[in-house]
Amino acid sequence: MVKPAPTCAGQGGRQGADTPAGPGHTFAAAASGVIRTIGRRAHSSTRPGYAATTGTGTTVRTQPVPRTRRGVRVNAPVVVVTGASAGIGRATAGRFAAEGARVALLARGSSGLDAAARDVEAAGGRALPLPTDVADYAAVAAAADRVEAEWGPIDVWVNSAFTSVFAPFTEITAEEYRRVTEVTYLGSVHGVMVALARMRPRGRGTIVQVGSALGARAIPLQSAYCGAKHAVNGFLEAVRVELMHEGSDVHVTIVQSPAVNTPQFSWVRSRLPKRPQPVPPIYQPKVVAETVAFAAAHPQRKQYWVGASTVGTILGQRIAPAVLDRYLARTGFASQQTDADEIDRPDNLWQPLDGPDGHDFGAHGDFDARAHRHSPQAWLARCAESVAGAVHRTKR
């Protein structure tokens, strides 16, 4: 059976404030070849049951059709997602599951993990929830061992776990700063260490880091988080070049995200007078998750930027950082706070709020009414990458 290679279909569904008109697309159309592409790298492209891309850009599926167990492909790629109990990590797990992947879910909170596992199974994937604090290297390594013992080699590792403190720098304690750094920065380091220890000997695999525009341009009131995200960019740049020097087929890429409607604003430690909020414009977690899945299938690119605000922030910092300094000094405090007074509430800095006696926070936060469901910029970037890849394959 021969069918056209995946194309850049328009974004369909209900048109939102940040959505271009176009023919039908939803979750899988723009990156419908994600799992096939990962599978081709993870296994032989001519092995029965796998898709292969010809020089003309068409996709040929060899026979027989892949075996399934309980409706899930036996040879489906193995994906690990940290921070999978909520927010971007939760949405990313669901995105891979929608393509039939086997998804290992790493996070601290048991209620959120259990709910995320149900989401993965309902979406058509297989789930393996593993309670893990990414700040603990031994725990991350043990989780990876469990994944490979049950499912075989890990094909994709996604780092999404983080934590933060919303407060002026002078009001953050040394212990709080250390904790944010251990989770957000060292948690990513641990994930990359563990993934590379398994991928490098095999000569294949992909690591996708969920980054942030704040890793390129810091803002007030989030110095610990911004510092950690800057560090993530720095160490991954070094790792990526080292892999290039080796000629390795293990790839590392970063998805730089905008402000996202996640539950963190309900559980983050905050010393602000008003309740914290993401800096508008706000995007839904699915917008970032779609790009994470696409990046896993097209990891040769160093970074993917999601949202026009991310593009503006990163380019603005490169071109006119002093202008951004003055702008953020004027607007950066009020834009991170709602009109509602902050209340005395628990936070998740040291312990998860979605523990055995807690509740599932889900992927979304409290800002659905204000969040964009699509990003034309991210969609166009994926299209451009797909076209460039097709041209490259044709020339080979």
pLDDT score, position 20: 38
Residue 184 has pLDDT above 50, yes or no: yes
DSSP string, 364-375: --S-GGGEES--
Read off the pLDDT of residues 226-238 as tens digits, 9 standing for 90 and up. Answer: 999 999 999 999 9
Q: pLDDT: is 387 or 320 the higher one?
A: 320
Mean pLDDT, all residues of the chain: 86
Residue 329, Cβ neighbours under 10 Å: how many?
A: 10
- Secondary structure letter of residue 188 according to DSSP: H
CA–CA distance, 346 with 355 (Å, rounded to integer): 13
Lowest mean pLDDT of 9-13, 186-190, 296-300, name the range. 9-13
Read off the pLDDT of residues 120-168 as tens digits, 9 standing for 90 and up. Answer: 999 999 999 999 999 999 999 999 999 999 999 999 999 999 999 999 9
Q: pLDDT: is 9 or 111 the higher one?
A: 111
Report residue 75's pLDDT band, with 50, 70 and 90 as the boundaries.
Answer: confident
CA–CA distance, 32 with 36 (Å, rounded to integer): 8
Read off the pLDDT of residues 242-284 as tens digits, 9 standing for 90 and up. Answer: 999 999 999 999 999 999 999 999 999 999 999 999 999 999 9
Secondary structure of 299-311 in HEC code, one letter for each residue: CCCCEEECCHHHH
Q: pLDDT: is 73 or 27 the higher one?
A: 73
CB neighbours of 53 closer than 8 A, spacing ≥ 6?
Answer: 5, 40, 45, 59, 60, 393
Residue 58 has pLDDT above 80, yes or no: no
Residue 329 has pLDDT above 60, yes or no: yes
Rounded mean pLDDT of 363-391? 84
CB neighbours of 388 closer than 8 A, spacing ≥ 6?
Answer: none
pLDDT score, position 382: 81
Rounded mean pLDDT of 349-369? 89
For the segment(s) 78-394, the CATH number from 1.10.10.10, 3.50.50.60, 3.40.50.720, 1.10.3260.10 is 3.40.50.720
**Annotated catalytic residue within 50, 225, 283, 304:** 225
Q: Which helix (H) or strand (E) holds 111?
A: helix 110-123
Q: Is the separation of the CB atoms in 284 and 372 below 8 Å?
A: yes
Q: What percent of the chain has pLDDT over 90?
A: 73
Read off the pLDDT of residues 90-119 as tens digits, 9 standing for 90 and up. Answer: 999 999 999 999 999 999 999 999 999 999
Rounded mean pLDDT of 12-19? 38
pLDDT score, position 394: 67
pLDDT score, position 40: 58
Q: pLDDT: is 12 or 166 the higher one?
A: 166
| In the block, residue with structure tokens 């409607």 | 261
Q: Is the separation of the CB atoms in 1 and 61 below 8 Å?
A: yes
Q: Is the separation of the CB atoms in 90 and 116 below 8 Å?
A: yes
Report residue 379's pLDDT band, with 50, 70 and 90 as the boundaries.
Answer: confident
137 has catalytic annotation: no
